[in-house]
């Protein structure tokens, strides 16, 4: 669970807050830089998640080189996840750390090294309203500079090596991505004539200097397709002189790497790890392309072959050379398109119980009725009874409503649990099992269940904090007074099997 998971689930939070969560805590190219639920930069401790560790390799973008050409030091990390994704006893292992966009002796690698040594020297850096007051927006959101000293140091390092910093991101939903492609002067990330079913992920990020990242779910459908199950792909394009705060790490001798010429003639470096995940790297004129591909090897009980990875590599467009764009002008177009999209949505129709039958039937197919309970209750005050799914203790984990004549998720199960409160409000409790002693309380109100920002509560290290700033400490009594504003409603949940008859 990341900050972005929480914030994205709670509609009504400004884009800049979602952006903040997207880039911290960081699971970045295999390295997890831990940060507490309240945004606090913990730079001394590095935890590694082995199941995704080598999936996110970024290494040499030139086919004549190897991953090792960009490694520059050994690090000791703690592995918590086993080869099949299971939780194991913490085990210390040795990894090789490398830079994703430059050679070990190049300017980007040297800048990474200096910046991370500086961060390691700081220890914990709290996020405070006073601290970020004079920090440029892009340095705060993209590089987690929580005070002007950090910002000044970053500028000093990148100026020393003549590197460009990321601007503040533009976020584009599926229905807005054509605006971003047009602004950057590209046709997209997939090769024309592709025989595949493609599903867009909800959001891509695009930066005014031409850097971008987006994800898709792809299922190959051609007659010669080797891997026919769905793939999850993340495509990243970075200009070669960009300081994008990402570091890679890989366990020694646990991956296969080889060179391959793609269908469009691009020389690639392909990497396949022991967990059946792949990375594709390419040189693209002024930029570097790296693509992470997740094959669900555990579910499908097999791993992709070299030939299967090569076939997947052939579906992408490597002839990309983005151009800069005017962020303000593009953001205006994105906002206008978003309003058009919202205006086009049909108004909710009055539902009947039968409208939720397909949701419940799917539960039955998954053999869930014995574990789940349901209730029908209008949680947001829009006059539509919503379907709540829970465990029978009065809380719920998912909520469905009726939109466009069919059941759709109203509240995604990103938080540990939700509670219905009086006056059509909702309380969301979020806990991280990896960080005991922490709890986040979000309170949501209105038809769109927007977060009441003034009533955000965070409990950590024996203290209550009100709002996202770490220096806003409140007493136990004040925290309780906030929770008392949202008394729970006693709703009767029934066994799901009763609904299904």
pLDDT exceeds 60 at position 225: yes
**13-17, 454-458, 488-492: lowest mean pLDDT where?**
13-17
Instruction: Name which residue leads in pLDDT, 62 or 330.
Output: 330
Degrees, nearest 5: CA angle 379-381-385: 55
> Is this model's pTM higher than 0.85 or not?
no
Is 185 within 8 Å of 285 (Cβ atoms)?
no
Report how far apart, in Å, the C-alpha atoms of 358 and of each of 172, 240, 355 are: 31, 49, 7
Structure-token match 């990402």, residue found: 246
Q: How buried is 334 (Cβ within 10 angstroms: 0-12 exposed, 13-18 middle, 19+ buried)? A: buried
Q: Which residues of 392-417 are buried (b: 16+ CB within 10 A; e: fewer)?
A: eebbbbbbbbbbeeebeebbeebbbb
- In this structure, what token pair is assigned to residue 171? 């976020």
CA 116, chain centre distance (Å): 22
Give the per-residue pLDDT at 473: 81
Q: What is the mean pLDDT of residues 29-40?
A: 37
Give the per-residue pLDDT at 126: 82
From CA 384, how far away is CA 376, in angstroms rounded? 9
Give the per-residue pLDDT at 24: 31
Give the per-residue pLDDT at 466: 79
Q: What is the mean pLDDT of residues 211-217?
A: 91
**Residue 261's pLDDT band (cuts 50, 70, 90):** very high
CA nearest to 377, candidates 407, 355, 399 = 399
Average model confidence (pLDDT) across the chain: 76
Give the per-residue pLDDT at 276: 78
- In this structure, what token pair is assigned to residue 367? 């053999």
Long-range pairs of 150-155 with CB within 8 A, sequence gap ≥ 24: 150/122, 150/125, 153/115, 153/118, 154/115
Q: What is the pLDDT of residues 480-495, one digit of tens each?
A: 888 888 999 888 888 8
**4-8, 312-316, 396-400: lowest mean pLDDT where?**
4-8
Please provide the distance, in angstroms rounded to a whole number, between the alpha carbons at the two ends of the chain. Answer: 35
pLDDT exceeds 70 at position 433: no
- In this structure, what token pair is assigned to residue 424? 């059509």
CA nearest to 46, candidates 25, 16, 65 = 25
Q: What are phi and psi of 218, to 5 degrees?
A: -125, 135
């Amino acid at each position: 669970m990341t900050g972005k998971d929480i914030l994205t689930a709670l509609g009504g939070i400004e884009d800049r807050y979602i952006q903040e969560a997207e880039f911290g805590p960081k699971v970045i190219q295999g390295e997890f830089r831990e940060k507490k639920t309240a945004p606090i930069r913990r730079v001394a401790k590095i935890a590694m998640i082995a199941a995704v560790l080598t999936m996110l390799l970024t290494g040499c973008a030139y086919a004549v080189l190897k991953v090792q050409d960009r490694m520059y030091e050994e690090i000791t990390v703690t592995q918590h996840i086993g080869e099949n994704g299971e939780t194991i006893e913490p085990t210390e292992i040795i990894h090789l750390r490398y830079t994703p966009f430059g050679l070990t002796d190049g300017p980007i690698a040297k800048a990474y090294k200096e910046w991370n040594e500086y961060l390691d020297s700081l220890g914990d850096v709290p996020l405070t309203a006073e601290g970020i007051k004079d920090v440029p927006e892009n340095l705060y959101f993209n590089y987690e500079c929580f005070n002007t000293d950090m910002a000044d140091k970053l500028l000093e390092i990148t100026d020393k090596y003549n590197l460009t910093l990321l601007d503040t991101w533009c976020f584009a939903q599926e229905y807005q991505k054509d605006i971003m492609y047009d602004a950057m002067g590209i046709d997209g990330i997939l090769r024309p004539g592709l025989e595949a079913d493609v599903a867009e992920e909800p959001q891509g990020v695009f930066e005014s200097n031409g850097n971008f990242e987006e994800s898709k779910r792809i299922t190959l459908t051609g007659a010669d397709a080797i891997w026919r199950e769905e793939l999850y792909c993340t495509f990243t394009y970075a200009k070669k002189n960009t300081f994008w705060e990402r570091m890679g790490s890989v366990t020694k001798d646990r991956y296969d790497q080889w060179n391959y010429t793609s269908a469009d003639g691009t020389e690639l470096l392909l990497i396949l790890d022991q967990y059946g995940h792949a990375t594709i790297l390419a040189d693209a004129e002024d930029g570097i392309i790296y693509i992470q591909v997740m094959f669900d090897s555990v579910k499908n009980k097999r791993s992709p072959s070299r030939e299967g990875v090569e076939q997947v590599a052939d579906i992408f467009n490597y002839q990309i050379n983005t151009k800069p764009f005017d962020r303000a002008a593009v953001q205006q177009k994105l906002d206008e398109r978003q309003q058009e999209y919202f205006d086009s949505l049909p108004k909710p129709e009055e539902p009947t119980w039968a409208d939720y039958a397909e949701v419940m039937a799917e539960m039955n197919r998954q053999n869930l009725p014995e574990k789940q309970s349901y209730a029908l209750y209008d949680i947001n005050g829009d006059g539509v009874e919503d379907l709540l799914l829970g465990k029978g203790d009065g809380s719920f984990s998912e909520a469905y409503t009726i939109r466009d004549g069919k059941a759709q998720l109203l509240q995604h199960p990103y938080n540990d649990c939700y509670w219905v409160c009086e006056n059509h409000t909702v309380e969301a409790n979020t806990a991280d099992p990896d960080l005991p002693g922490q709890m986040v309380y979000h309170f949501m109100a209105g038809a769109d269940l927007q977060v009441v920002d003034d009533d955000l509560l965070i409990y950590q290290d024996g203290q209550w904090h009100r709002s996202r700033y770490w220096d806003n400490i409140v007493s136990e009594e004040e925290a309780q007074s906030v929770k008392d504003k949202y008394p729970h409603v006693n709703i009767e949940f029934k066994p799901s099997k009763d609904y299904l008859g």
